[in-house]
Structures are given as C-alpha cells and as structure tokens.
Structure 1
Amino acid sequence: MARIIAVANQKGGVGKTTTAVNLTAGLARMSKRVLLIDLDPQGNATMGSGVDKREAEYTICEVLLKECSADDAIVRTEEQFDLIPGNMDLTAAEMELIGLPPEHRGSQLRKLLEPLRARYDFILIDCPPSLSLLTINALTAADSVIIPMQCEYYALEGISSLMDTVQMLQANGNPQLEIEGVLRTMFDVRSKLANAVSDELTQFFGDKVFRTIVPRNVRLAEAPSYGQSIVGYDKSSKGGVAYIALAGEVLRLQRERDKLEGAA
C-alpha cells in the first residue's frame, strides 16, 4: 500500500515543487513505484517532470470533477515515475469543491486516490502555496506531510499556520496525519541567520527535521527549464546529491514504520 505524502508550505518560493519533483525522481531511481500529483494550478511540477501542462489530455482537475478516472489522467514520464498533471483548470475545480456540502469538501481527493494505493509504493502531492481547499484535500488524503522551508526570518512564523491546519485535520477527519519531516532548502551555510533558524527548527521539531539539507545550487535551478528533475539532469551536483539523500531518508523512515507494524 502506497504511503501518501503531501509536500506543503503556504509560503511560496521555498522549494516546495522542487522537492516534490526531485524526491519523486529520487525514489523512482531507487526502483520504487511512485506517482506524483500536481495539485498546484501553476502546473510547475508538471512542466518540471517533462510534461506540457497545456497539452495534457486529462489533469487532476478532471479527476476531481469526476470527468475521468485517476487512471485516465496518469502519464508516464521519461524518468520512470507516473504523473497526474495539473494546470490552471484547478482553479475551476476548487470552485466546484466549495459548492459541495462542508463535510465533503475536503475529502474528495482521498476517495479518488484510494483505488491507486495498491499500485504504488509512494504517492506524492505537490500542493499550492496557500492553505486553500486544494491543500486541505491533499492533507486529508495524505498519511504525512513534508514541509520544505528556507531558514530565513519569517520562516517560523509562516509554518505555524500550517501546523494549526495539520492539528485541525488530525482532530477532524484525518487522525493518522503526521509530519514526515521538515526540509531545510536553499541553505547557505555561510549565513548566520540561516544557521540560527536551523537551530530553532531542530529545537522545535527535534528528529522531525530531515538530516538532509538542500543547498543553494545553480544546477538545481536550471533543471526545470529542461523538463527534468535534478536527478535526471545532473545527479552528481550538490542539489542532486541532496535529493538522492532525502529519498534515502524517506525510505529509511518507511522501513522503520514497516518494522514497527510487523512487530505489532
């Protein structure tokens, strides 16, 4: 059964889509069956996976509107993972979700993904940079959430809103939702502020902070313009090494969970 992981942070520009695409590619390189869902109307995860968001026959929008099945929308990428594309049509899908009864608005994605769980090891969801109804659907469907964040002045302030939302969902509708990990992105080891915020994160989240730190890296920024992950574009770059390491951490966490479930 797939572990469903949402990649979320309501603050834009923190490496959320970069993390979703590159972690997906890293897990696929490790022979895992992985599906990436682009739930962001910007469609950047779709383009970064080498799929033109303007030419996709079906997207996650049609899936949410029940105009096609999730199976119909799945596209196989050149990097050997599956993708359900997203684009601006998601804005219309969100308006439709708002029109549903309150008890159903946030759970549509979970129902639609349930049939896919048996086919994958991991399903990753790239969320929009807001705590919108689309993000609520992702977190309601997810087993856990990865929070990418820059170690900068407003980072800790912004993360508190997301934590409030996670706690609200844990109490109402998705009790198993947990923090998979907090990922420090675009990290500059020379910055005193970055190191200070990193220390605060570790104090607050403890072992929920990933050991992997993603540095600022030109190759990482270039990869999406070629429709590739950093793993496909230049896996030996600092960014490539970091995301391969992150994939390894996620797999280790899953093995530990499997052991605990097996012993129970």
Structure 2
Amino acid sequence: MNMKGGVGKTTATLNLGGLLARYVIGGKPPLRVLMIDYDPQFNLSQAYLTAKDYFALEKQRKTTLSILMDSGTALNPYQLQVPGNHAPPSVGSLATNLYKHPSGGLLDIVPSTLNLMYVALGQATTNTGPIEERFEKFITDCRAHYDLILIDCHPAGSLFTKTSLTNSDYVLIPVVPQKYAVRGIGLMMEFMKAKKAGTKAPAPLILFNSTSRHGTSPEEAAIRADGTYAPFCLANTLKWYKAFGEPEGGSGFVWQSSKPYSTQAFTNLAAVGRELRTKIAL
C-alpha cells in the first residue's frame, strides 16, 4: 500500500507473490500464497489471467466484490448497498489456482473487477460494519489455508484500505526514490496510525522500487538517514528492470524470460524475496 500512485504496488505484489510460491528461497521451501486483487483497476488480475479466463471468473462472480457484497446486480455509483448477510463466501469458492509446486507451495488469486469501483465511490447511508465484518471473516478463513496473503490495494483512502490495514500484520510500502517521495511515506504512516484497530497496527516495511542498478540516489539516501523511516527500510531494493513490468495474461514473468538482463532481474527479485521472508518470519 502507498497513498501515492505509480510506485509499483502491483509490480511488487505480482513478482514477489510468484517468486515465493515457486522457489526455494534462502533454503526455505516455497510458500502457499494467496494474492487478493483489491484494486478496481484489476492490473494484478490482468497480469496473471488471460482475458478469456478473467471474464469467465467475473461472470461466475469469483472476484473480490463477492467478499464484500451478496449481489453484484444492485450496484449504485451514488449509494453503497450494505449487505444483510455478514458471512462471505469461503476462500475455496473464490480463489483460482495459478500454480502448484511439487513440495506444497502454491499460488492462488482472487481477481478484482471494475465494478468494485461502486464500493469505492458509493456513499454509505448506513453503517459499513457488515462489509468490514465480511472482509475480516474472509481473511480469517484465508489464514487457515495460506502461509502468505498479499493484498494489492489502490492508491486512495477508502473502505478497501481501511479493511486491508485492520486485517494485516505488515504493510509493504513501495517507494520510488524521487522528489516528494518522503511526503508519500509520511502520509502513508499517518494514514496507518489513523486507521489502526485499537492497539493493533500492522508493521510497516519500506521497499525502494525502480532504483538504479548502480549506486544510491540522494532521495533514497535521505530517507534511509531519516530516523523516522530508517528502521522500516528493507536493505535490498527492487531495481529498475523492464522484465518486472512485462507480465500479462499469465506470461512474460521474469522467471520465464530469456531477454537481456532477465537473469540479473531474477537475482535481484530473489534477494528482495529472501529479505522479506526473514522480516515477516516465514
């Protein structure tokens, strides 16, 4: 999550999710990973699913909208319909498998839909508690079946970001080290504090994205030197490689690529994945 757009939230999710489900990292076996596309733009879904498969799942209502709402037929751009049923579908009925590793690792996805925008924009005339309760129950169900759940959020303060924060143990904050980057981090930290449930708050992890392959930019160095943010910065950065942004329709991933620099990109991704697993004790 980051309140600033264009920082690589989806890029980090799709690459780290796939890596950790497919490979032995730091001597540790692949994980059971679920990716939840919680962004109405559904870019994560488009990276992993063909158009044919995606529209079939959307037609079956196997999307994140079903976590929050009973029906997708009464959507209103001006008024949020709060469900009467507080129980969401099971994760087994919504998740689509993308990959299975012989040792038990797997990669599943709950795709998003543009119709989720109605939930983001609609004004609730009643308490949104039932929607929040449905999401919490869904995540509790997910925890029983997966080692790692990655929620790909949109860059705005909304019901999506609130429910994500209150049900997460960690928040990975991708940051592109450029002008005003520190302002984005500060805003994200303040938002996290404002939305925490009681005394429980997710731990922030700052991941510098699209960094230079050689050296450290002044912006990154300044953030790392700031005592407010330094404890949360990952040592490894996700460097700028074209291969990280190429996946579409279930192909083009860095672990499949033979294009120039793909080996270096994979090595870089593996280093970030190894550090992330250590940070979150998996």
TM bin, normalised by shorter chain, reads: 0.7 to 0.9
Could you tell me which of 141, 144, 156 is aligned with 2:167?
141
The whole-number CA distance in structure 1 between the counterparts of 2:125 and 2:35 is: 27
CA shift in 2, pair 1:245/1:100, >3 Å: farther
Q: Which residue of 2 aligns with 1:175?
A: 200
Q: Deviations over 1:73-112 (max 9, x none)?
A: 1000147401001020211233568344155565542222
Considering fraction of residues, name the structure with more helix. 1
Correspondence list, 1:84-233, <5 A: 84-94=110-120, 98-101=124-127, 106=132, 108-170=134-196, 172-173=197-198, 175-179=200-204, 181-188=205-212, 195-204=217-226, 205-224=229-248, 227-233=251-257
1:199, CA displacement in angstroms?
A: 1.2
Residue 17 in structure 1 maps to residue 10 in structure 2: yes
1:75 and 2:96 matched? yes
Taking only aligned residues, the RMSD between alpha carbons, in angstroms, comes to 2.6
Aligned residues of 2:14 and 2:44 also touching (Cα < 8 A):
yes
Contact 2:132 2:163 in 1 (8 A): yes
Q: 1:35/1:224 Cα in 2 relative to 1: closer, same or farther (>3 Å)? A: same
Q: Which residue of 2 aligns with 1:54?
A: 55
Number of residue pairs the alignment of both structures matches = 245
SS in 2 for 1:164: helix
Q: 1: CA distance between counterparts of 2:97 and 2:257?
A: 18
Cα distance, 1:102–1:61 mapped onto 2, change above 3 Å: closer
Consecutive unaligned residues of structure 2, counting only runs of 5 or more, are 25-29, 72-88, 101-105
The 3 A distance-change label for structure 1 pair 129 and 230 is: farther
2:237 is aligned with 1:239? no
Conservation of the 8 A alpha-carbon contact between 2:48 and 2:249: no
Aligned equivalents of 1:167 and 1:41: distance in 2?
25
| CA offsets 1:7-36 (integer angstroms, 9 cap, x no match) | x01211111100011111111023100100
Structure 1 stretch displaced more, 20-29 or 222-231: 222-231
CA contact (8 A) 2:165 2:201 kept: no
Identity %: 24
SS of equivalent residue, structure 1 residue 124: strand
1:224 & 1:216 partners in 2: Cα distance? 18
Rounded to whole Å, the distance in 2 between the matches of 1:95 and 1:42 is: 14
Deviation (angstroms), 1:240:
2.2
Look up the match of 2:35. 36
How far apart are the structure 1 equivalents of 2:199 and 2:270? Answer: 30
8 Å contact kept, 1:51–1:77 = no
How many Å apart are 1:245 and its aligned residue? 1.5
Structure 2 CA distance for partners of 1:66 and 1:14, relative to 1, 3 Å: same
Task: Give the Å deviation of 1:64.
Answer: 1.2
Q: Is the Cα–Cα contact under 8 Å of residues 140 and 174 in structure 1 kept in the other structure?
A: no
TM, length-normalised to structure 2:
0.77
Per-residue CA deviation, residues 150-192 of structure 1 (Å, 9 max, x unaligned), is 000021112222111111123x44614111x11111112568x
Normalised by the size of structure 1, how large is the TM-score? 0.82
CA apart distance, 1:224? 3.3
